Amino acid sequence: MPAPAATLYVVATPIGNLADLSPRAQEVLRSVAAICAEDTRHTGQLLSHFGIGKPLVALHDHNEEAMAERVVARLLGGESLALVSDAGTPLVSDPGFRLVRAARAAGVRVSPVPGACAAIAGLSVAGLPSDRFVFEGFLPAKAAARRERLQRLAGETGTLVFYESSHRIAESLADMAVAFGSERPAAVARELTKMFETVLDGSLEQLLAAVQADDNQRKGEFVVMVQGAGDDGEAKIAEGRRLYAKLHEHLPPSTAAKLAAELSGAPRKALYGG
Ligand code: SAM
């Protein structure tokens, strides 16, 4: 007899306020044979708050490849399982991609139980254009790599969404002000759904000043959102400047500016004073 069809449920958990765990998420977590969790202790506490007792399987960045195979074997054997991360939606700057890919490749049904996601929650209250946005997750920790990434994003026209930690919020805002211009509209959403929830908006320069002026504004978890490059001209100039900086490493300034202007469509004057 074939094994009953099993499902891998990808379940979103709260990003702060426990009441955001949906009734369906609770029902699914109660129904499965086991729950794959990023940090079993953390998830154990969440489950015990809801009176849910289930075997937990540790599945994190360091063991996901190996665990995925074992979890898929259980699914193929007919057990339904759930995947959660520490907070919010699994796979969004969180583990789970390899498991979901392996389950799908094995023909297992994978079904979402949607809920909180800090990026979407932040975007929903930022007051920035949200019809097109680019989720960039965490920026590189090293300053040089972070600046290079931001420089590359300077011409992006959709709203940019970043995750940031308390250690680097001020440095990142400072780097963004340099890469995107200090007047670029932005918003910082901190501790969403928690007691000290704060959503600040203003220019990058104003936000940096606000975060520097108050220690409390550097505590907790952050979503940083930056409006995209305004019009076509602004996007072209940002791209032209990025190309000019690269080409200038190997070519004389006037040649680098000519090529960067041609490739980006930006006026040469805007890239190079000569
Ligand atoms: N999977 C999660 C989601 O769906 O949002 C994100 C996990 S990622 C490892 C954690 C980051 O998300 C934090 O460093 C912070 O940037 C952001 N974040 C999580 N909870 C947040 C909250 N309550 N308020 C603001 N940002 C939050």
CATH number at residue 25: 3.40.1010.10
Residues 105 and 170 in one domain: no
Q: Which of 125-139, 153-167, 184-198, 224-238 has the lowest mean pLDDT?
A: 224-238
Query: Of 255 and 270, which is predicted with more confidence?
Result: 255
Mutating to test ligand 1, I would choose from 195, 222, 224, 225 the residue with most ligand atoms within 8 A of its C-beta, which is 222
Q: What is the pLDDT of residues 3-45, one digit of tens each?
A: 458 999 999 999 999 999 999 999 999 999 999 999 999 999 9
Residues 177 and 251 in one domain: no
Going by pLDDT thresholds of 50, 70 and 90, the confidence category of residue 236 is: confident
Residue corresponding to tokens 């929650």:
121
Environment class of 139 (CB within 10 Å of its CB; exposed 0-12, middle 13-18, buried 19+): buried
Listed residues 95, 116, 137: the one ending a domain: 116
Please report the atom of ligand 1 found closest to the CA of residue 85: 1
Listed residues 53, 84, 116: the one ending a domain: 116
Q: Is residue 2 part of a domain?
A: no
Residues 214 and 264 in one domain: no
Give me the number of domains the chain comprises. 3
Residues 108 and 123 in one domain: no
Residues 209 and 261 in one domain: no
At 237 the pLDDT is 83
What's the 80 CA to ligand 1 centre distance in angstroms? 27
State the residue range of the domain holding 30. 7-116
pTM: 0.89
Residues 213 and 252 in one domain: no
What's the 118 CA to ligand 1 centre distance in angstroms? 5
Residues 107 and 145 in one domain: no
Alpha-carbon span 122 to 88, nearest angstrom: 12
Q: Give the mean pLDDT of the chain.
A: 94
Residues 90 and 42 in one domain: yes
Helices (H), 138-218: 143-153, 169-180, 204-213
Q: What is the pLDDT of residues 163-210, one digit of tens each?
A: 999 999 999 999 999 999 999 999 999 999 999 999 999 999 999 999
Residues 73 and 139 in one domain: no
Residues 33 and 65 in one domain: yes
> What is the DSSP secondary-structure string of 186-197?
EEEEESTTSTT-
